[in-house]
Structure 1
Amino acid sequence: MFPLIMLYVILTLIRPQEYVPAFTGIPVLPAVLILAFLCWMISGAKTFKAPQFVILPIFLLILMISVVVNGWAGGALDQLEKFGPIVIAFFVFAAACNTQRRVIYAMAVFVLCSVVLVAHGIGQARNGVGWTGVPLSEDGRIQYVGIFNDPNDLGLLFATTIPMAVFLSTLRGSLLRLFWLGCAALLFYGTYLTNSRGALLAVLVVAGAYVWYRSGFLTAGTLGVVGLACMKLLSSRMQQLDPDEESAFGRVDAWYEGLHMFLSHPVFGVGAGNFTEYNDLTAHNSFVLVLAETGFVGYILWLAFVGYSFWMMLAVLRHKPDDDNDPERAKAWQGERRMALTLLLSLCGLFSAAFFLSRSYMVVMYLVAAMVVGFYVSARQRFPQLRLFTLADSGWRWFPAAIGSIAGFFVLIAVLLHTSA
């Protein structure tokens, strides 16, 4: 199961099936996923001991219902075909990441695949076109094929994998340490080549979160201001980071329209995939997109799915084992904490970038979440004192969290619109 789902991850990220002639017309990606799913079905490693295993299939059902109640019965099958494979990949990948070693291998695959995409971008920046045949974007930013044909999507991936590369550099000897640090540097350079403001801000958030964890909020805030100033010098688009700038104002206006879609269709939204039927631009915010398209029901489920992932990693960082006087157990626990911090920083990078993009249904997001869930479930097996999260125990918390976050969006947008007026 593990080799097959890792092959699926490689094909999802590098995507040779989309530009290698030998793969033309062959459903390589679905075939590998089906084989991995069949192995998962007969595997004893299956686990459902996390709320996300309940939430995600229900969210898929809500996606299907959202299009049906908006007048397109056939849309239910369309959503099943689009999002169903992502649900399957989540279940299989989470079950496969059932040891620390496997999580490390998964991180290594994410980093190496991302470095391949950086190498493509470097060649693209030098020659104007990459080995895939994809040229630079019209504004000179690097891009790739398939789900990464937008520079912002590449930036999201790079910001997510930088913490993984840094973590991997701490595990082996000096040569491998230099190799993984080199990968981290390449990923940062790749983020620069995407010239994605959201991705650059995501890298800044990752660095700030790490400094906050190590040195406190004041130090993180001070260095954050310095980092933002440096990024404005590095990126021409960061210099345009202003609500009055045309692109930024278009995003704010899209958020405004998204909230009005929610107000007009509060229960199930305007239907998955229908945002652009009501507005020329997409939402440019993964949270607003879910709220507008699936209403309060879908939003609370998606928010819980995301929130539990963060909560799990924080639970590891805050937990104090009863047997920490045992040197071996204490050393093992420090390894768990370092891995949890890495995954938490990757989540910070992922969702900071996703805050400025409409990537609510992007497979990368759910693969990273699967890694998080797989790690936490296996960590509970190694340290049973870790909290067991269940919807029965904590699911109610997401109702006020959803209401509060929606209210926060209304306030934020009102402030941004007033500022740009």
Structure 2
Amino acid sequence: MFPLILLYVVLTIVRPQDYMPALVGVPVLSVVLVLAFASWLASSAKTFAAPQFVILPIFLVVLMISTAVNGWFGGALDQLQKFGPVVIAFFVFAAACTQPRRLLISMAVIVLCSAVLAVHGIQQARTGIGWTGTPIGEDGRIQYVGIFNDPNDLGLLFAAALPMSVLLSRHGGFLGRLFWLGCSALLLYGVYLTNSRGALLAVLMVAGVYLWRRRGAVIAGTLAAAGLAGMKLLSSRMQELDAGEESASGRVDAWYTGMHLFTSHPIFGVGAGNFTEYNDLTAHNSFVLVLAETGFVGYALWLAFVCYSFWMMLTLLRYAPAEAGDPIQPVQLRRERAIALTLLLSLCGLFTAAFFLSRSYTVVMYLIIAMVTGHYVGARQRLPDLRGFTLGKEWWRWVPAAMGSIVGLFVLVAVLLKTSG
């Protein structure tokens, strides 16, 4: 199971099936996922000990219902075909990532694959075209193939992989440290070449949260402000970070459209994948996209899925073993916390970028949350007093949480509209 799901991760990120003539048209990604799923079904490592395992299949059903209630019954099957593999990948990868060693291997695979894409981007920047045959964008921003043909998606991947690379640099002695720090530098340079404002802000968020955890809020805030000023000097697009700038204004208008679509279709939304039927641009915000397309029902589920992941890593970071009778060793506890902090930072980078992008259903997000879920499930087996999460007892929390966040989105859009006007 584990080798197969790792191969799936490699194929998902590096995507040789999209540019190698021998693989083009061959459903290699689907075949590998089916084999991994079959191995998962036959494995004793299957686990359902986290709310995400309940939420995600229900969210898939809501995606299907959202298209059906808007008059396209065939859309239910379409959503099953599109999002069903993401659900399967989540279940298999989460079950494979319950042990620290496997988590570190998974992180190494993600970092190495991301570094390959960064090297491809460097080749593009120097020669105008990468080995995939993909040219650099007309605006000078690097891009890849498949799901990473948008520079913003590349930047999102690099920002999420960066904390993993830094954690890996603490293992393997001097040469290992040098290698993984080199990968970190590649990822940072890759973010720079994407010139993605969302990715740059994601890197800043990752650094800020790390400093906040280590040095406190004052130092983190001060250095974050300095970092933002530095990024504005490095990136021409960061200099245009203003609600009145054309690209940002288009995003705000899309967010306004999304909120309007929610008020007109509050229960199940306008249907998954239908946002661009009502607006020329996509929502450019993963939260607004889910809200508009799946309504309150889908949004509450998706929000719970995301927030549980943050909650789990924060709970693990705050875990204190009982004074007596707890067999946990300090070295083991430090390892558990180090992995939890790394995954928390990856989540922060991922969702900072996702706040400015419509990436609510893309597989990369769910693979990283699968690592988070797997780590917490495994940690509960190793740490006797670590609390569990049960959706049956906690579901009611997500109703007011969803309501509150929706109000927050309305206020944010109203303020930005007034500012941009």
5 Å matches for 1:163-202? 163-202=163-202
Cα distance between partner residues in 1 of 2:384 and 2:299: 31
Q: Residue type matched to 1:345 in 2? A: L
Structure 1 SS opposite 2:404? helix
Q: Residue 165 of structure 1 contacts residue 180 of structure 1 at CA under 8 Å; is this kept in 2?
A: yes
Partner residue, 2:109: 109
1:303 pairs with 2:303: yes
1:277 pairs with 2:277: yes
Partner residue, 1:398: 398
Cα distance between partner residues in 2 of 1:156 and 1:222: 24
Q: Residue type matched to 1:61 in 2? A: V
Cα distance between partner residues in 1 of 2:385 and 2:171: 26
Structure 1 SS opposite 2:35? helix
Q: Residue type matched to 1:114 in 2? A: S
Check 1:189–1:234 CA distance in 2 against 1; reply closer, same or farther (3 A cut): same
Deviation of 1:60 after TM superposition, in Å, equals: 0.2
Deviation of 1:323 after TM superposition, in Å, equals: 4.9
Structure 2 SS opposite 1:385? coil
Moved segments of 4+, more than 6 Å: 324-328
Q: Residue 158 of structure 2 contacts residue 188 of structure 2 at CA under 8 Å; is this kept in 1?
A: yes
Deviation of 1:384 after TM superposition, in Å, equals: 2.2
Cα distance between partner residues in 1 of 2:384 and 2:294: 36
Cα distance between partner residues in 1 of 2:55 and 2:204: 30
TM-score of the two chains, using structure 2 as the length reference: 0.99
Q: Residue type matched to 1:134 in 2? A: T
Partner residue, 2:346: 346
Cα distance between partner residues in 1 of 2:360 and 2:56: 12
Structure 2: any 5+ residue segments left out of the alignment?
A: none
Partner residue, 2:35: 35
Structure 2 SS opposite 1:244? coil
Moved more, 361-370 or 328-337: 328-337
1:334 pairs with 2:334: yes
Partner residue, 1:378: 378
Cα distance between partner residues in 1 of 2:250 and 2:6: 38
Partner residue, 2:219: 219
Structure 2 SS opposite 1:281? coil
Q: Residue 270 of structure 1 contacts residue 294 of structure 1 at CA under 8 Å; is this kept in 2?
A: yes
Q: Residue 326 of structure 2 contacts residue 384 of structure 2 at CA under 8 Å; is this kept in 1?
A: no
Q: Show CA shifts across 1:304-330 (max 9, x none).
A: 000000000000011101158989712
Q: Residue 323 of structure 1 contacts residue 330 of structure 1 at CA under 8 Å; is this kept in 2?
A: no
Q: Residue type matched to 1:401 in 2? A: A
Structure 2 SS opposite 1:95? helix
5 Å matches for 1:14-25? 14-25=14-25
Cα distance between partner residues in 1 of 2:373 and 2:362: 17
Partner residue, 1:146: 146
Cα distance between partner residues in 1 of 2:305 and 2:78: 22
Q: Residue type matched to 2:123 in 1? A: G
Partner residue, 1:58: 58
Q: Residue type matched to 1:117 in 2? A: L
Partner residue, 2:417: 417
Check 1:326–1:311 CA distance in 2 against 1; reply closer, same or farther (3 A cut): closer
Partner residue, 2:209: 209
Moved more, 167-176 or 360-369: 167-176
Partner residue, 1:69: 69
Q: Residue type matched to 1:277 in 2? A: E
Partner residue, 1:7: 7
Partner residue, 1:387: 387
Q: Residue type matched to 1:237 in 2? A: R
Deviation of 1:25 after TM superposition, in Å, equals: 2.1
Q: Residue 321 of structure 2 contacts residue 328 of structure 2 at CA under 8 Å; is this kept in 1?
A: no
Partner residue, 2:125: 125
Partner residue, 2:287: 287
5 Å matches for 1:151-162? 151-162=151-162
User: Number of residue pairs matched?
Assistant: 421
Check 1:133–1:69 CA distance in 2 against 1; reply closer, same or farther (3 A cut): same
Q: Residue 120 of structure 1 contacts residue 130 of structure 1 at CA under 8 Å; is this kept in 2?
A: yes
Q: Residue 111 of structure 1 contacts residue 161 of structure 1 at CA under 8 Å; is this kept in 2?
A: yes
TM-score of the two chains, using structure 1 as the length reference: 0.99
Cα distance between partner residues in 1 of 2:88 and 2:385: 29
Cα distance between partner residues in 2 of 1:317 and 1:306: 17
Structure 1: any 5+ residue segments left out of the alignment?
A: none
Structure 2 SS opposite 1:306? helix
Q: Show CA shifts across 1:49-101 (max 9, x none).
A: 00000000000000000000000000000000000000000000000112100
Moved more, 393-402 or 107-116: 393-402
Q: Residue 111 of structure 2 contacts residue 183 of structure 2 at CA under 8 Å; is this kept in 1?
A: yes
Cα distance between partner residues in 2 of 1:401 and 1:36: 35
Cα distance between partner residues in 2 of 1:275 and 1:327: 52
5 Å matches for 1:231-270? 231-270=231-270
Check 1:55–1:327 CA distance in 2 against 1; reply closer, same or farther (3 A cut): closer
Cα distance between partner residues in 1 of 2:33 and 2:326: 42
Deviation of 1:141 after TM superposition, in Å, equals: 0.2
Cα distance between partner residues in 2 of 1:98 and 1:205: 27
Structure 2 SS opposite 1:21? coil
What fraction of aligned residue pairs are identical, expressed as a percent? 72
Moved more, 117-126 or 315-324: 315-324
Q: Residue type matched to 1:357 in 2? A: L
1:91 pairs with 2:91: yes
Q: Residue 243 of structure 1 contacts residue 416 of structure 1 at CA under 8 Å; is this kept in 2?
A: yes
Q: Please report the RMSD computed on the Cα atoms of aligned residues, expressed in angstroms.
A: 1.1
